[in-house]
Structure 1
Amino acid sequence: MRLTVHLDTFDRAHPMAFAILWLDKDSRQWSREGHLGLELPEWGSLHMDCGNTLVCGPNDATPVCVLEGLDLNGCDGPFEGETGRAQWCAKRGRTLMAGHWHVQCIDHEQAAPEHGLFAGGDDV
């Protein structure tokens, strides 16, 4: 299962700050599909903690962002349109920035990606 998640309302970072992330529930990886005003790597790993999803960098288990209430292990979700609070923690040593996340799309198909990060080829 793959999810497209939109992060926004991080007004302290930039008035129009947003990020669109593609989350792969099975591989526990994510990729950045678009962003403005939020600095984050192109991809990374996903970790679960008490019903929250931790969006981490590729080489580090320290979260860049915590998607509160987005439980990728849950039986009943996530579902399209689901929303919650996001805590932006990319800038270490600074106060957390609150924003929101919402699930834009869920793809239940098991099709392998043709190109890019999760294709498993030399494109990475």
Structure 2
Amino acid sequence: MRVSILVNSVDPTACHDYAVVWLDTTRRAWSRQACAGIALPAHGEILDTGNATLLIDADATALLTLGGFAIDAHEQLRSIHGAATWFSLTRGFSVSGAWHLRAVERTAAELRTGRARPPRGGAPLAGHDERR
């Protein structure tokens, strides 16, 4: 399963840092789609610490921390948003913000086995497409 998230500050009018990132939960890898103000290379690995999910680079340096982002054993997201922290290139220090689910992309095998359910909390998300 691949998940697209948006990371930005709680007040995007005051801090313009943002990133759009694809997380491949099967390969435990991430890739950058777009970003500004956040030092993110083109891709890296996902590390689950139990309390948070870290997006790390090739040197195992944590670049982005996603609080509350977790996938359960049934490939279901535990949340559609949460806290995020990163080092801001524009401000020169760590910034707290948030991550938000943008899209979920499932494989044909996941769809056949019935794993294509919306995140916990019920109905599909308005404005978020579930790609196949």
Give the TM-score normalised by the residue count of structure 1.
Answer: 0.72
AA aligned to 1:86 is A
What does residue 67 of structure 1 align with? 66
Aligned Cα RMSD in Å? 2.7
What does residue 77 of structure 2 align with? 78
Matches within 5 A, 1:80-95: 82-89=80-87, 95=93
How many residues are treated as equivalent by the alignment?
106
Question: What CA deviation, in whole Å up to 9, does each residue of 1:53-97 have, x standing for no partner?
Answer: 11001x222210110010134547316x81100011477xx7531
Q: What 5-or-longer segments of structure 1 have no aligned partner?
A: 112-124
Confirm or deny: 8 A CA contact 1:53 1:72 kept in the other structure: no
Confirm or deny: 8 A CA contact 1:46 1:54 kept in the other structure: yes
Q: Aligned partners of 1:74, 1:90: CA distance in 2, in Å?
A: 33
| CA-CA distance at 1:15 after TM superposition | 2.7
Q: Aligned partners of 2:55, 2:11: CA distance in 1, in Å?
A: 20
AA aligned to 1:100 is A
Q: Aligned partners of 1:30, 1:106: CA distance in 2, in Å?
A: 14
Question: What CA deviation, in whole Å up to 9, does each residue of 1:13-63 have, x standing for no partner?
Answer: x73211000000000111000112222111000010114211001x22221
AA aligned to 1:17 is D
AA aligned to 1:24 is D
What does residue 108 of structure 1 align with? 106
Matches within 5 A, 1:14-93: 15-57=15-57, 59-73=58-72, 75=74, 77-78=76-77, 82-89=80-87
AA aligned to 2:66 is L
Confirm or deny: 8 A CA contact 1:10 1:17 kept in the other structure: no
* Structure with larger Rg: 2
Judged with a 3 Å threshold, the aligned counterparts in structure 2 of structure 1 residues 22 and 76 are, in CA distance, closer, same or farther, namely: closer
Partner-residue secondary structure (3-state), 1:72? coil
Among the aligned pairs, what percent are the same residue?
Answer: 27
Confirm or deny: 8 A CA contact 1:63 1:89 kept in the other structure: no
Q: Aligned partners of 1:90, 1:41: CA distance in 2, in Å?
A: 14
